Amino acid sequence: MNFEISDVLKQLPEQFFASLVQKVNQKLKEGKDVINLGQGNPDQPTPQHIVEEMKRAVERPENHKYSSFRGAYSFKKAAAEFYEREYGVTLDPETEVAVLFGGKAGLVELPQCLLNPGDTILVPDPGYPDYWSGVALAKAKMEMMPLTEDRGFLPDYSAIPEKVQNEAKLLYLNYPNNPTGAVATEAFFEETVSFAKQNGICVVHDFAYGAVGYDGHKPLSFLQTEGAKETGIEIYTLSKTYNMAGWRVGFAAGNASVIEAINLYQDHMFVSLFPAAQQAAAAALLADQACVAAQNDRYESRRNAWIAACRDIGWDVTAPAGSFFAWLPVPDGYTSQSFSDLLLEKANVAVAAGNGFGKWGEGYIRVGLLTSEERLKEAAERIGKLNLFTRKSIDISK
């Protein structure tokens, strides 16, 4: 027998990255040397001291049992200590921290925790496509907030119609931003708190790339803003900061009522995370952070190499201020998808088409800085050979 899926599953958005993976895999089957810059998967291993802690934790018999429904206090306490140390933010481990199965799980769960069918959520465009999945599962309504280059890829709250402001219950933000690489300012977060208070909106700040900032600037936590805990939460994942993407460990921090809603939802869905993984995650948060600084330096060096190589072939690009992504304009005469397809077909370089992140992503591609500087430079050279840009002339007299 073949059973029909539910109407809710039918309404889920198409997984944009699944199509990209299929295209890349087909080229690999053909024996092509593909430089894959379309992914968001960290390329370095988890630091060894975290792995060693996991090994020790796995050996402990008490970790083989069901864990506490709402997560280990030791992990939540470590998260609170991490926020105090890194951002000067005070959190109550019991009431203001919730353990998550990775940041994505929390982002998809939240609309189901706080919204009823037909309720409105404000979502950035371009933005992380899995935001849309949570909205669909909650049967809620999405109102897109355009992120444009002239505004530094920050939403313009004054452009949101008054009716939409009044109806909105939830607001998603993400800085450093995926896909644009933009960062938030203190003034913008202050404006966000004011906007949320005026309209009774819960802010959800996706801080996945909080550890990746460039040119000596450390990305701001939303919770550093006065009044932020009153108006919302922040979601932090260990996937990027500590190269623990496959471990599926994260946490939500902030407003106690939202944290309780997450915990209540997860009480019915899960029995928390593998205790050994929580212990290793706590060790990551509390240990010396030299590995985080070294990784940030690596990404900055890659960013600089990539941007310089692009400019050398005549591509007018802007360097990202944070995250490990670069957001690049497509040449005249191409759409995001046609340009991405061309790069894969003619240069064996895979990138993510900007339209996959929303309507306002059209005209751009996203590049992940998740391979070596040498491969990044090679990718730029391959693109340069397509003669889509005018190479800069070199003055040999200098």
Tens of pLDDT, residue by residue over 305-316, are 999 999 999 999
Q: CA nearest 188: which of 359, 177, 179, 97? A: 177
pLDDT of residue 131: 94
pLDDT of residue 394: 45
User: What is the tens place of the pLDDT at every residue in 84-118?
Assistant: 999 999 999 999 999 999 999 999 999 999 999 99
**178 — phi, psi (to 5°)?**
-110, 115
Lowest mean pLDDT of 11-20, 112-121, 286-295, 318-327, name the range. 11-20
User: What is the tens place of the pLDDT at every residue in 336-346?
Assistant: 999 999 999 99
Model confidence at 13: pLDDT above 90: no
Mean of pLDDT values over 256-274: 94
> Across the chain, what does the average pLDDT equal?
94
d(Cα 351, Cα 23) in Å, to the nearest integer?
Answer: 11
Mean of pLDDT values over 222-231: 97
Model confidence at 397: pLDDT above 50: no
Model confidence at 362: pLDDT above 90: yes
Model confidence at 335: pLDDT above 90: yes
- pTM, to two decimals: 0.95
User: What is the tens place of the pLDDT at every residue in 170-212?
Assistant: 999 999 999 999 999 999 999 999 999 999 999 999 999 999 9
d(Cα 196, Cα 190) in Å, to the nearest integer?
Answer: 10
pLDDT of residue 392: 60
Q: CA nearest 143: which of 170, 103, 116? A: 170
Mean of pLDDT values over 121-142: 95
User: What is the tens place of the pLDDT at every residue in 55-83?
Assistant: 999 999 999 988 888 999 999 999 999 99
> Do you know the residue count of the chain?
398
**389 — phi, psi (to 5°)?**
-125, 165
Go through the domains of the chain in sequence order and give each one's CATH number: 7-45+290-384 (3.90.1150.10), 48-286 (3.40.640.10)
pLDDT of residue 395: 44
Cis? peptide before 219, omega within 30° of 0: no
Model confidence at 14: pLDDT above 90: no
Mean of pLDDT values over 31-35: 93
Model confidence at 319: pLDDT above 50: yes
Place of tokens 């010396």: 288
